[in-house]
Structure formats: C-alpha cells, structure tokens
C-alpha cells in the first residue's frame, strides 16, 4: 500500500540525523506511492554537505530549486524530466545546460554504454566510458556510477575525477552476475 505520513516523517528524521555528520549524501531512486513529489526537496532542507541526486521527473524538478551539488540522470530520465527528445549531441548539451539553468550545480548525464556528459560550471565535457569485452549484467550500473561519484567527491576529487571513479565502478559491475557483487577496496589492495 501507499507509504504513510508517519513513515515519511520517520525516514526524514533518520536522514536528518545521518546527514548532520555526513560528508556527502546520495539520494537514488523513485518515491514510493503516496509520497509527495517535493519529498526529495524536503529531505534536502536537512543536508548541509554535498548531495548527489539520481532521480527524475517532477521530483527532480522540485529538488533543483535547492541547487544540488550533482544530479545524475540518464538520457531517458532527462527526456522524461524535461519533456524533450534527445537524439543528438547538441540536444544533450542543451538539456544539460537547461538542468544547470534550473539549479543543478553539476550534471552527469549517462546513456548506457554511450558517452557521459559532465557539466561543471559553464564547461560541458563528453567522456567515453571504459569498454568492456564481455558484459555479464548491466543491472545497478547507474547506481554504481552515482556511488563512485559520491565516493570521489567525499575524498576530495573534482567532479571529472569522481565521474571516472563512478565509471570504473560501473565497469566492474558489468562483469558481475549479481549487482555490485565486488569489493573495490580488496581489488585496489591486490593491485598494489
């Protein structure tokens, strides 16, 4: 059934408590049935550290008013949010610029195995993700990109470097049967 106002309040309280000591906050996904469209924006009132949003539609448009640090929608989510088809690189540039105009300080626009568009201030960069010889399972790759960005920013990297970490994390995810079934720390130590 629909989520209750009491449940939404409990979650908001828990997020506020965690955000008070966090170095970064990452909000991903869709709102449950019964949640108001401005709920993510409501949550952002409790966040003073960098925030990354991987959301779409009216929820994203409402949250943009709070000037999130980074948003990470994919091409289809941007189309849904802005009500415009993105068929060319110029369309993507225009859409990314529009999301910034509406409040996003940074934009990371993914497109599956395609290029990733990253906007930082007035600059828009196009980054090619790593090529993967054998894709096992793409489920969770967008979440891995967002998590890698969050980790990179929380550890002092700029957005371009953080996106690279996110893309490397998604590339690892593509090679696992279960989503995010790897330990990047263990693999990093093994390479040393």
Residue 186 has pLDDT above 50, yes or no: no
Q: What is the pTM of this model?
A: 0.89
Q: How large a percentage of the chain has pLDDT more than 70?
A: 95
Over residues 152-169, the mean pLDDT reads 94
Model confidence at 131, pLDDT cuts 50, 70, 90, reads confident
CA nearest to 146, candidates 114, 174, 170: 170
Tens digits of per-residue pLDDT, 61-79?
999 999 999 999 999 999 9
Cα–Cα distance for residue pair 181/166, rounded to 1 Å: 15
Long-range contacts of 96-101 (CB under 8 A, 24+ apart): 96/124, 97/124, 99/64, 99/71, 99/73
Over residues 84-108, the mean pLDDT reads 96
Q: Are 27 and 42 in contact (CB under 8 A)?
A: no
Question: Higher model confidence: residue 40 or residue 188?
Answer: 40
Exposure string of 58-71, with b = 16+ CB inside 10 Å and e = fewer, is ebbbbbbebebbbb
* 3-class DSSP state of 85: coil
Of the candidate ranges 37-46, 91-100, 143-152, 169-178, the one whose mean pLDDT is the lowest: 169-178
Which one-letter DSSP state was computed for residue 55?
-
Over residues 84-102, the mean pLDDT reads 96
Show the DSSP H helices in 20-140 as ranges.
39-44, 57-64, 75-82, 89-101
Q: In degrees rounded to 5, what are phi and psi of residue 70?
A: -145, 140
Distance set, CA 170 to CA 30, 66, 107, 181 (Å): 20, 28, 18, 11
Q: What is the mean pLDDT of the chain?
A: 91
Model confidence at 7, pLDDT cuts 50, 70, 90, reads very high
pLDDT for the residue 77: 96
pLDDT for the residue 185: 54
Residue 112 has pLDDT above 80, yes or no: yes
């Amino acid at each position: 059934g629909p989520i209750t106002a009491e449940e939404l309040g409990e979650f908001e309280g828990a997020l506020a408590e965690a955000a008070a000591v966090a170095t970064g906050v990452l909000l991903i996904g869709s709102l449950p049935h019964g949640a108001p469209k401005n709920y993510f924006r409501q949550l952002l009132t409790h966040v003073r550290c960098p925030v990354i949003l991987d959301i779409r539609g009216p929820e994203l448009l409402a949250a943009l008013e709070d000037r999130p640090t980074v948003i990470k929608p994919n091409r289809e989510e941007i189309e849904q949010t802005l009500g415009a088809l993105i068929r060319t690189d110029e369309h993507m540039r225009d859409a990314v610029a529009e999301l910034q105009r509406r409040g996003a300080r940074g934009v990371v626009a993914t497109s599956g195995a395609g290029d990733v568009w990253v906007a930082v201030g007035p600059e828009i960069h196009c980054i090619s993700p790593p090529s993967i010889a054998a894709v096992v399972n793409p489920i969770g790759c967008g979440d891995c990109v967002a998590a890698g960005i969050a980790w990179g920013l929380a550890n002092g990297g700029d957005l371009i470097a953080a996106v690279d970490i996110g893309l490397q994390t998604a590339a690892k995810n593509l090679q696992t049967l279960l989503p995010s079934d790897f330990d990047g720390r263990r693999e990093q130590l093994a390479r040393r």
